[in-house]
Structure 1
Amino acid sequence: MKNNSSKKNFKSGFVSIIGRPNVGKSTLMNSLVGEKIAIMSDKPQTTRNQIRAIYNDDEMQIVFMDTPGIQKPQNRLGDYMLKVSHSSMRDTDVILFVVDDSKSIGKKDSDIIETLKTNKSKKILAINKIDKLSKEELMVLINMYSKIGIFDEIVPVSALKGTNNDTLIKVLAKYMEAGPLYFPVDMITDQPEKVLVSEIIREKLLMYTDQEIPHGIAVDIEAMKKRKDKDIIDISAVIYCERESHKKIIIGSQGRKIKGIGKAAREELEMILGSKIFLELWVKVKENWRDRENYIRSFGYEDK
């Protein structure tokens, strides 16, 4: 793809993807840019930081910002995540509000809508998971959200299947303005490599552990170095949890679970990084780290 940012009609802008937990925001962002940028899980609050993914074509650049699901905080980490989401809504050209196939507007969605009413950015509603809806059910939802009167456009999508991705990109393009190329055309995210590695490991932890445990897990990359004269990257990572009982569950009987987590993470990292990976995982306990400011910051959850 050529660098067309000097073209007279080149457009660019920022799109903040918001919504309550578990509606498919990260899946939608990954689908729109055609690459896995944000980790995905069926467990709520998977996304903790703002994650940027960059869409490029010959006419424009869209910088998508995936944000933590908006809900009432339960701890200091939750406070930070809510702050990230609200900050993203202030610093954007377009807000892409994602809802799912729920047949009615619940309290969490209603609270977000109330916040959006005072926001001056353009607002696009994406109704996700339409593969689970009949045409009649979808029309009911579209009419229901249309009556609220704050959305510039409503686009039904299926993030999992990529349904209407092109339509959504065309709609967003209408609200991009003449602007520069914010990132190089071959760049798909501004995440540092270590952050990407820690997030992939955390994704596998989400897959392998029960509902209660994932919320209290953090991953810290202690060392990451490519070997001299060999196509091998050595990675040493520490998995932090909040209880000894959680540590035992993560490790599993005879270390089987941690081995499975490590194997799954290593295989995906080898595909992403294009090198052989030697991955060493450790599990440590930091009690109530989500309510301790120093730990929250040390794990990378801090205001930029």
Structure 2
Amino acid sequence: MREPVTSAARFGAENWSHRLSSQHVDEIDAALADVGRSDRPLLTVRARDFAVPRLAAELGRIVNLVEQRDGFAVVRGLDAGRYNVHGLRMLLWAMGQHLGTPVPQTTDGHMLRSVPATADAGFHSGGSDVSAFLVTGAGASASFVSSESLVREVHARRPDLAERLSGRYAFDRGAEPVPGELPYRLLPLTCRAGGRLSMRYRRDEIEAAHARPDLPSLGSADLDLFDLVDEIASDRRYRVDVQLDAGDLVLVDNYSTLHMLGAENQASPQLLRLWLTLPTGRDLPTGFTWESPGYGGRGGRGGAVPRDVISLPSGCAGPKSRLATAV
């Protein structure tokens, strides 16, 4: 993977920017028209129902670059103003079907969510292999930092703190109560598997979990480490900043790259977000991720565990249709 932290100035748009052709857009319009004529509920649509052979091949090429090399991509060429709200949701959901397996983002089974560009307060990793965002309003921006280079910078600046990167911290599960399970996950910040480094970082979730009375409080060294990670990620010399336009599709590998979303003004634009498991995602050790129930197919990796799925006896497939919640 390229390393924007140590070479942000040289990591230009020719690496991360991709533009759809008029043929891709024509395929999208034809596929949306077919799905619309059949009046299909959003979450019943699968890749086979959204026939976009040229686009599917291009998306496969791009997501492979994201996972194997660049860590993120911005796919341009869609005019968001040509589609209504349902069309944009269907578009992201259907493209996601050609990229991987969506996983739930909430315990209510929400698979696709609308989030403001100011929802993310700092650099972090998402809750699945890849986060996919479709920008629905102008004025959004995004910033990206390579996990590999960030970790290297921590080792260079504060080797006394670097060993804590492989230590386990509690990540708060928020409103994800799971019967018989802890309200947090114990995970390392970083791990290496198959010769690749993976990083999971959500400072807000870690601090919330360690504020619990049944967990040890974070020490000064822990906070120093988080401050250093935030400082490196926020330094303009080490990050890649991208201005986003309505219709842009953003793909982020959540193990190799931390990201942050922003907006130019308080009237922040909305983005649609999908969490995806890749069919050929990287190897990860037990304890760094978890399986999440799928809908009508194999389970995903990461994401939230829907409450109704937890309560279902083994083999009860029928009620799963009630969990197909779009937003």
Q: Which has the higher contact order (CA 8 A, sep 6+)?
A: 2
Tell me whether the two structures share a fold, i.e. TM-score over 0.5. Answer: no
Where on the TM-score scale, by shorter chain, does this alignment land: which range?
Answer: under 0.3
